[in-house]
Structures are given as structure tokens and as C-alpha cells.
Structure 1
């Protein structure tokens, strides 16, 4: 944890899409475009709609995990004991248990970080998941934005030198871009804290660009079990950081914030066999994602290149109108205009299995896409 930032902790325990891709914008606090930071993919889905809007792996949780969660209900009379799950996460990433905080999903982690840190200049690198910025604003912080340029590639020099809190996703939601670990690590500065949202890192076989095991000084890694294991309703995630910050975050967290079933899920999904299962899924998903991207690109659409997560980000003229037409035909996709740095010509599409993806492609073809 960067010392200067940690010392300021809370005392309590259109521009059109083409232009946006052609330049990197730095937006100071108070000058941000108006978007709904609280709009998420779950608001897009509905009864009878094929779900391409939410980036949660279908067919999950797997039977073995569901059975383990059912068995955990027998222990609900006792208060949750986080230590076995905490130790399992520490073993997975080669960290000390004191560098791990278990949370009720990544969303709680962002809220705790926003409440504990007191930065002079907070910056969020966009486009990315909007909850980190929403949490900072809810905690009363002014937030600046760095909007990435062509193909949403990270240029560490684009982040203002005086930013003492930087938040970035990797791989990034909604663009599916995986930034090189060296580029993310280059964001380090004396007195700066860098928060990296790695919620989709287990979509990448081998996780070569993860900083979870390296954990450079001043870095905070946020992880989630939601996407790969289908546990959005359970709320299970964790933070990796130096022990002094973990202690401060824990002091701001309600007692027993993570339920017994969620702790069981964290422990089970951190085991070597589960990590291997997730990697096998990620490899199969990647092949289907690349096929889907090639199909869409072959129709003349701009698909953000080099996608590495379980979704694709694409530019479609009148994307909001296309989204509405897809809903009429039984398909839900994620609008892009609620992500700073995108706009009304962008959509995010989750990657499903081949039959489901082909059905979506057919409907798009029927719409002339």
C-alpha cells in the first residue's frame, strides 16, 4: 500500500465512437459526462429473453459446488468462520493470509476501498465496470476519468502524474481487453494506490497478466467468484493487498459480512482442482469467443480486438435501436452507452455455447447485420 495514500484513511474502523477510439481523454473531476453508473446487465434481462447481457457463465454453479453449498446450510446456526477460506485464497495466490480480505462480492470491496482511502485525486480508467467510480462518488470523493484511446489499449503515461488513487479493470469490462501486466504495473508511483479489478481474470487460461501473485507495492487486487462459478446471488469475492490496508478495510467492514455458504464457495473454488476446472472452461470459452468475434467482424462490425474475457464489445450503428429489435425477438444484450467512454453505438455481448451464439447470429442476420 502506498504510504501517502494509506495515511489518509477514514478515521472510522459523441463525441462519436470513432473519435473516442482515436484519442485518450483525461477528464477532470466535475467535468464528467452524465451516465447511469448504476445500470448493470441484470437490468437488461427478462422473462423469455435469451441472456446475452450478463457475463455469468451459464450452467453454473456446477453440481459438485451446488452440493457443497447445500451441505453448508447445516452450519447456519454458527457464526461464519472466514479463516479456512482466507487460507485457501492465500494458498492459491501465494500470499500470506494477512494479505487477504474476504468480501460480499467485488462490489463490497469497492465500497470498503472508497470508505477507507482518502485520496487527493482519484482517477478511474474507462471504459470499465462502473461500480468502482459509483462507490467513490457515494463516499464523497471527486473522481476524474481517463478514457482510453484506439482499441482501448492502456497507456500508463495517460494517467495524470498527481493521481494518488487509480482504478482499472483487467481484463476490462466491457471491452474484454487484457492489459499486459507490465503496463498495469507501470502505473505505480510513490504515494499512489492502484486498484485492479481482476473479476474476469479467471477467463484467461493461466492468468499470465494477473498481478495477484506478484502484488507490487501500492497495488490492490479485487477478485470475484461471480462470473466463472455462477454465484452472483451468493456474493463472494476477496481483496489482496498489503496487510496494513487489509486491516483497515476489515475494520470498516461489518462483522460477519460474508455468509457461511459464501465462505464455503470461496474455499472450494480456490482449491487446485477447481482452479484447473475453471482453466479448462476458459480454454473452451476462448475458442468459441474467437469464433464469434470472427463471425461478427466478417459482417463488417467493429469488434474490439484481442478480446480475452467472456464477452465481446462491438460498435453497431444505432446500437440502442438494434438492442430494442433484439429484445422483440427474444434476445437481451448489454447497452454500451452507460459506460463512460462508449456511447449509443456500442453493445456488449456475452459469449455462450455454439448453438446459442449461432442462434443470435441468425437473428442479427435477419436484422441485416
Structure 2
């Protein structure tokens, strides 16, 4: 059923939350994995952090200063207008195609609450919050599991699916799917949600769909968390057709995005900030290639085609290896909480040359 031209949305229910279903709420475990386990649970103070994939040394001082200055405006209610216009200008869209959110996670929750899919499909392995949000809202979820090397095959998605969620580049695989392949998943009567939280890890963002307003039902979710180190601020947004943006905004709590987060969104959408992010992405590519090469030399299997700020690796007895690394004060992300992966997978963030070398030395000794 659709409302206002939005596939999968029911306007009669868009303003009301679904009834509480304890079975559905508990199903955020996904039956076989804990969908609510994230990298911050795998690290702790005092550890060299390869578990959380936020850019080190952030936020930069210029951004921190702007956020700090916004504290003087906290007596006034947040005004999202300037941030919406800044995001729209960045991506060549209109402001009514932008919804600002408290991080990408809120976007997934809003979509799960507003949409009424008959068949929701999440392409895995990927970030688990989209499926967790759907299950918590009472939806049944089918999984399209991509085998290694995790290349996206549009035929893996059932044609009758009217809600499809996929990441690009995908967490935890770091695989970047071609924009043309993703576009094949869009069709009338379907909402296609593309999570681009790590798109700015790719110089020039060549496979981003942010500028595509011609694909039916396309929703692109973005986050400022990773590149700018704003996990604690909760800043993100989505791009979607105006009628769907209106439905999602109606379901969103008033003033859910704070003034500091709005200030950060404007700042990070500016040309100087985009140039800084692109320069970082180019340096990241060099560090990532070097780390992948070093890991390969010691016999660690690295998922090919990595494009984000982390690598997905496969090693025997990965959980025991992770525990041994913790004894050496090194934290990596377990992989078995991602649907489609198992106990022999780990996700490793890309750091600077010195820390990357420390990780490789530790792994070489343990292996």
C-alpha cells in the first residue's frame, strides 16, 4: 500500500507507532546474531582501537570550535533550515528532499516506523541497525546473503521485495558497489535504502547515489560520524522524494537534531570541509592498501576491493585471536555478529602507519 506516491507507506498509520510486540522487540537479536552489538563494545580505554571505524584525531579543531561556539545559542529552539539548505546544495538537491536526523540510526528507525512493506529484504553482510530497526517495529525481515567476495548481485534480491536496504561501501566488508548495479535495484513500488555512511571514505565519491533524483523510491542515508568524529553528537541526514521526507518528518520527534549538530552539518557541507574530507580519503587509501599488503604477507586473508576505513579479514579461530590481541592492548571488531559471517571473521579499522605496523607485528606473532 502506498500513500502520497510513496511505495510501502500507509498514510493512515504514518503518525502512529506500531503496537508494542515483545516478541518483535526481542527479535532484534536476529534469531542467530546480536544485531545490536557494535564496535564500541569491543574496545575500551587504554587499548589501541582497531574496532571502531571513526577517523582518528577528530573532530578537527576548526569544527570543534564551531560546535563549542554554538553552545551560546542553546536557549533557542534548533532551526534546521540552514542545515537542510547546506546539505541540499552539497548534493544538488532541493531542500524538501532532505531530512536531518540524529545520526544515521534515527533515519533507519523512522523508515521502519513509517513504511509498511509487504516484503522487506536486507542485503547482508552489512550494518545491522537497519534490520534491528525493522524488527523492533514489528516487520518480518528476509536476508539476501552475499557470499565472499561480497559482490552485489541484483538477482539476489527477490523481485517482489518492496523494501530493500543495502550499504555502500558496505560495513563490514568495505566493498564498494557500482552505482549502476545499485540502480538496478530501484523500481516503481519499491523503496531502496542505500546506507552511504562511509561514502566519503572514497575520493570523489564516484559511486554515490546522492545526486540521483530520477530513481523511483530511492532513499540515501548519510552520516557525519565517521569522517568527522561526531559519534557523540549524532548528526546525519537522508535524501528521498519530498513526499516520503514529509511522512518521515511527521513521525520524527520535534527538534530531534540539536543546535550543535545542525552547526556541524552546515560546517561539514562547506567546500573547504569537503576538500579536507577528500584529501583524507586519498591518504586513507594509501594506508589501507599498505595494511592490506602487510596482512596478506603474514597469511591473513583480506576481502578484496576494500574502499572504506576498515578491512574485513578471515583467519582461523578468530575469536581466540581477538582475545589474544586484547592481552596485547589491541582491540579489533568481532565479525560473527554480522549476518552472513561467522566465527572466523574480524573487522580491522585502518589507522596510521605506526599503529598498523603494531597490529601486523602482533598478528604475525600470534599466528
TM-score, normalized by length of structure 1?
0.93
Distance 1:97 1:117 in 2: 22
Change in CA separation of 1:299 and 1:33 when aligned onto 2, cut-off 3 Å: farther
- C-alpha displacement of 1:33: 5.3
Mind listing any 5+ residue stretches in structure 2 that lack a counterpart? 16-26
Counterpart in the other structure of 1:234:
233
Counterpart in the other structure of 1:8:
10
Counterpart in the other structure of 1:315:
314
- 1:50-73 CA-partner distances (Å, limit 9, x unpaired): 110000000000000000011000
The alignment yields a C-alpha RMSD, in angstroms, of 1.5
- C-alpha displacement of 1:302: 1.5
Distance 1:249 1:9 in 2: 11
- C-alpha displacement of 1:48: 1.3
- Superposed, which structure 2 residues align to 1:110-125 within 5 Å? 110-125=108-123
- Which of the numbers 127, 142, 148 marks the counterpart of 1:129? 127
Distance 1:252 1:190 in 2: 24
Change in CA separation of 1:279 and 1:158 when aligned onto 2, cut-off 3 Å: same
Distance 2:362 2:64 in 1: 34
1:45–1:332 CA contact under 8 A, matched in 2: yes
Distance 1:219 1:12 in 2: 19
- Superposed, which structure 2 residues align to 1:59-98 within 5 Å? 59-98=57-96
- Superposed, which structure 2 residues align to 1:186-225 within 5 Å? 186-215=184-213, 216-225=215-224
Counterpart in the other structure of 1:162:
160
- Which secondary structure does the structure 1 equivalent of 2:7 belong to? helix
Distance 2:91 2:183 in 1: 17
2:198–2:308 CA contact under 8 A, matched in 1: yes
- Which secondary structure does the structure 1 equivalent of 2:295 belong to? helix
- Superposed, which structure 2 residues align to 1:138-287 within 5 Å? 138-215=136-213, 216-287=215-286
- Which secondary structure does the structure 2 equivalent of 1:221 belong to? strand
- C-alpha displacement of 1:119: 0.2
Distance 1:178 1:9 in 2: 35
Distance 1:114 1:66 in 2: 33
TM-score, normalized by length of structure 2?
0.94
Distance 1:101 1:299 in 2: 46
Counterpart in the other structure of 2:359:
360
Matching of residue 347 in structure 1 with residue 346 in structure 2: yes
